[in-house]
Amino acid sequence: MLLFNQKYWGKFHRNEWLTKDNRNSKFVYRCVKTRKQKNSIRRINDESAVWLDDKSLIEKKIITDYSSSFKSQKDNLRQPMSINMPRMVYAEENDLLTLAIIPQEIKDAVFEMDSSKAPGPDRFGARFF
State pLDDT tens for residues 34-43: 988 888 888 8
Full domain range(s) for residue 26: 1-38
Q: Are residues 3 and 28 in the same domain?
A: yes
Flag whether 63 is in a domain: yes
Flag whether 81 is in a domain: no
Flag whether 21 is in a domain: yes
Q: Are residues 50 and 22 in the same domain?
A: no
Average confidence score pLDDT of the chain: 77
Q: Which residue has the higher pLDDT, 111 or 10?
A: 111
Q: Which residue has the higher pLDDT, 52 or 126?
A: 52
Q: Are residues 29 and 52 in the same domain?
A: no
**Rounded Cα distance, 63 and 69, in Å:** 10
The angle formed by the CA atoms of residues 7, 2 and 35, to the nearest 5 degrees, is 50
Flag whether 94 is in a domain: no
State pLDDT tens for residues 102-124: 999 988 888 888 777 777 777 77
DSSP E strands, 4-121: 44-45, 51-52
What average pLDDT does the segment 46-56 reach?
Answer: 88
State pLDDT tens for residues 66-88: 888 887 666 555 666 667 777 78
20: number of Cβ within 10 Å: 14
In this predicted structure, what is the pLDDT of residue 32? Answer: 85
Tally of domains within the chain = 2
pLDDT over threshold 60, residue 6: no
pLDDT over threshold 80, residue 91: yes
Flag whether 46 is in a domain: yes
> pTM, whole model, 2 decimals?
0.36
Q: Are residues 47 and 33 in the same domain?
A: no
Domain boundary among 69, 85, 119: 69
pLDDT over threshold 90, residue 10: no
Start-to-end C-alpha separation, the chain = 53
Question: pLDDT over 70 for what percent of the chain?
Answer: 72
Q: Are residues 29 and 57 in the same domain?
A: no
H/E stretch holding 106 reads helix 103-112
The strand pairing partners of 45, in sequence order, are 51
Flag whether 92 is in a domain: no
